[in-house]
A = this chain, B = another copy of it.
């Protein structure tokens, strides 16, 4: 069977650990990590096409108008987005793509590409989530509480996702994501046409030779 790749969208509240999991997953699996486009200036050492695709504001808005993003957002006057074309090319070539993104972004990707595999990363407990937010430091008690409440409410969005993975240990979470991707490649919704096609191709030679 000529299998397409799968778009794996890793998302979840801030502090759940999706970045760490994404990094660990890339060490184990030959996923292609989606590169974002942005209008902000490159920082020291950032490479165009690797860290980001750096676009002018005009170019970015042209791409928006042409519907060439899986999702985009404006943050403090700069655009950030996921270019659709690159992702689709890699998927069509049979390689899996991973996209690590916040919840608002993931929901927009789902609208544009519902065939993606949407995985919500959960903290092992709300207590652990609080410890992780505290652990990042440089937070006043007030801003900590705002971040924590925000993460708490974001967990309600889990119902929009296909899968939820508890980040109890990075190793466990990575194994579960590997299982999810392997299982998705066996989903009948995804491969039905290929199964029935490959069967049809064989009927005459097998039944009537």
A positions within 8 Å CB-CB of B: 1, 119-120, 122, 125-127, 130, 145, 148-149, 152, 155-156, 158-159, 161-166, 175-176, 178-180, 182-184, 186-188, 191-192, 195-196, 198-199, 202-203, 206-207
Contacts and interface: CB of A to CB of B under 8 A. Distances in A.
A66 to B, nearest CB: 33
A192 B155 contact: no
B163 A126 contact: no
B203 A126 contact: yes
Contacts of A207: 145, 148-149, 152
Most buried by B among A158, A175, A178: A158
User: How many copies of the polypeptide does the oligomer hold?
Assistant: 2
A11 to B, nearest CB: 12
A186 B158 contact: no
Given A127-B206, A159-B188, A188-B162, A152 B199 contact: yes
A182 B165 CA distance: 11
Contact of A188 (B161, B183, B191, B206): B161
Contact of A158 (B148, B161, B196): B196
A164 B184 contact: no
Contacts of A179: 178-180, 182-183, 186
Nearest to A122: B195
16 contacts: A119-B186, A122-B195, A130-B206, A149-B207, A152-B203, A152-B207, A155-B196, A158-B188, A159-B188, A159-B196, A164-B186, A176-B182, A176-B186, A179-B183, A180-B186, A182-B183
